[in-house]
Amino acid sequence: MKKALLLLSALMLTAALTACGSDKTAIKDENPAQAKVEETAAPAAETAKAEEPAAEPVVEEAKEEAPSPDDIWTYYDNAKWSDDFNGVKSSIETVVVTDQAPKDYDESNLTASAVGIKFKIENTTDKLWTTYPDQAELITSTGEQLQADMIVSDHLGGEIEEGVIKEGNVIWFLERGHAADVKWVKVKWYVTEGDGFSMDAKREEYSVKLELK
pLDDT digits over 112-143, tens only? 999 999 999 999 999 999 999 999 999 999 99
Q: Which residues of 65-89 are buried (b: 16+ CB within 10 A; e: fewer)?
A: eeeeeeeebeebeebebeeebeebe
CA distance 158 to 191: 10
Cα dihedral value 147, 150, 152, 153, nearest 10? 80
Instruction: Give the number of domains in the chain.
Output: 1
Query: Does the residue 102 lie in any domain?
Result: yes
Share of the chain above pLDDT 70, in %: 68
User: Which has the minimum average pLDDT: 10-24, 56-70, 173-187?
Assistant: 10-24
Question: pTM of the full predicted structure?
Answer: 0.67
Is there a contact between 26 and 18 (Cβ–Cβ < 8 Å)?
no
What is the Rg, in whole angstroms, of the alpha carbon atoms belonging to the chain? 48
Q: Does some domain include residue 52?
A: no
Whole domain around residue 138: which residue ranges?
A: 74-211
Q: How confident is the model at residue 26 (pLDDT cuts 50, 70, 90)?
A: very low
On whether residue 46 sits in a domain, the answer given is no
Higher pLDDT, 195 or 31: 195
pLDDT digits (tens, 9 = 90+) for 160-193: 999 999 999 999 999 999 999 999 999 999 999 9
Query: For position 175, which CATH number holds?
Result: 2.60.40.4170
